[in-house]
Amino acid sequence: MMQFVKQLPGYDSHAVNTKIAPQIFILAMFHKEAENWLSGDSEFNFSRSVPLPGLSRGYGDVKVTEDGRVCLLILGTALINAALSIAALVSSGEFDLVKTYFLISGIAGVNPRQATIGSVAFAKFVVQVDTQQEFDARQISPSWSTGYVPSGAASPATFPLLLHGSEVFELNEELRRRAMLLTSGVSLVDSERSQEIRALFAGSLDDKYHPATLRPSIIKGDTLSANTFWHGNLLSDAMGNTSSAYTNGKAQYVVTAQEDSAVLAAMLRAALQHQVDFSRIIVTRSGSNFDRGCHDNEPIPVPLTLDPQVAADALRNLYLAGTKIVHGILEGWAETFHDGIPAQNYIGDVFGSLGGKPDFLVEGGKS
């Protein structure tokens, strides 16, 4: 029968399997995070566009290189948009994503206790911290440090009694290690404006903000995910305490962003349907602003805006680090990456949906 089909006029052998099977898929959240990748001086030429129904408004197609090995999608900002865009992608039927590596590439707020603006953080844990009860901070108990209380819990910074499933995601630590190695030797940009802002954190009490004064670098660091854009040392410390409670102290709060938990939740659903491999996800975030001021309890300027030059530095550094990862995966595909990088740690959500037991929980399921 197939031989007969091949003899039909107009038969195209390349049309039999039209699915694009990228080796790496870059995920940005909004247009600024994609500009360096799509610019005229980019190391990659995304010459093709594949429109998909169900993507975010204004970002209706996937950018694809001519050979189909590298793709880029702008998901749209906020958790719902990001999750729905991933769902639209994996259900479209246009892509074979079973062996694809995913590189989440976005900007973020950065914790000055841990890192500085312009640094690129690679996450092992993504913790969603906005699925909490919020009590008016003007009416809380004097013994509470914040009005945020995990769902069903009796006090702040304790493990939630009611779980949604998106509270914690753990990623492949060995893949993170290899991805960071691929960035060895990358020269990150560091403008005078970024240096000026970092210098404001010098001389902090007990030198607790010393990491903020250093040059940008490639670092390990976990992501706190939330739709709420918080700012200030009190809220930031409260969210850091929440992430510690959710992971039994294993997550290191370095950056804060919106969409990562939503992307991973959608990816996990797809992995359960054998559409993607959850062990092939890399989360990178570059600091575009500090999550607090240089002086504790100082009044916060309103409206709160990102410095355009600092944000530009972060965006450029995401691209510079990301290109190293993309080239490394493409060049090492046959020898190293085709068959995957086996995870030595637990990967997945708080429920153990992909198998195994979450290693960030203590006995009894609570941290």
CATH number, domain of 69, equals 3.40.50.1580
Q: Each residue of 320-342: pLDDT tens digit?
A: 999 999 999 999 999 999 999 99
**Where is average pLDDT lowest: 6-10, 187-191, 193-197, 358-362?**
6-10
Tell me if 177 is assigned to some domain: yes
For range 40-58, the mean pLDDT: 98
What are the phi and psi torsion angles at 47 (to 5°)?
-85, -10
DSSP tag of 279? G
Q: Each residue of 201-217: pLDDT tens digit?
A: 999 999 999 999 999 99
Distance CA 209, CA 200 (A): 10
In our burial notation (b when 16+ CB lie closer than 10 A, e otherwise), range 177-194 reads ebbbebbeebebebbeeb
DSSP string, 178-232: HHHHHTTT------HHHHHHHHTTTT-GGGTTGGGGSPP-EEE-EEEE-SS---S
Q: For residue 307, give the amino acid letter.
A: D
Rg of the chain in Å (alpha carbons): 21
DSSP string, 325-350: HHHHHHHTIIIIITT----SS--B-T
Predicted local confidence at residue 8, as pLDDT:
46
Tell me if 365 is assigned to some domain: no
Q: Provide the domain count of the chain.
A: 1
Distance CA 199, CA 224 (A): 25
Residue-range definition of the domain harbouring residue 321: 20-337
Tell me if 203 is assigned to some domain: yes
Tell me if 263 is assigned to some domain: yes
pLDDT above 90: percentage of residues in the chain: 91
Tell me if 255 is assigned to some domain: yes
Predicted local confidence at residue 17, as pLDDT:
65
CA distances from residue 309 to 191, 209, 218, 366 in whole angstroms, order as listed = 7, 22, 19, 43
pTM, two decimals, is 0.93
Whether 218 contacts 122, CB under 8 Å: yes
Tell me if 234 is assigned to some domain: yes
Average pLDDT, the chain: 94
Tell me if 7 is assigned to some domain: no
Distance CA 20, CA 280 (A): 17
Distance CA 18, CA 275 (A): 16
Predicted local confidence at residue 309, as pLDDT:
98
Distance CA 51, CA 159 (A): 42
Distance CA 22, CA 34 (A): 18
Q: Each residue of 251-304: pLDDT tens digit?
A: 999 999 999 999 999 999 999 999 999 999 999 999 999 999 999 988 888 888
Tell me if 342 is assigned to some domain: no
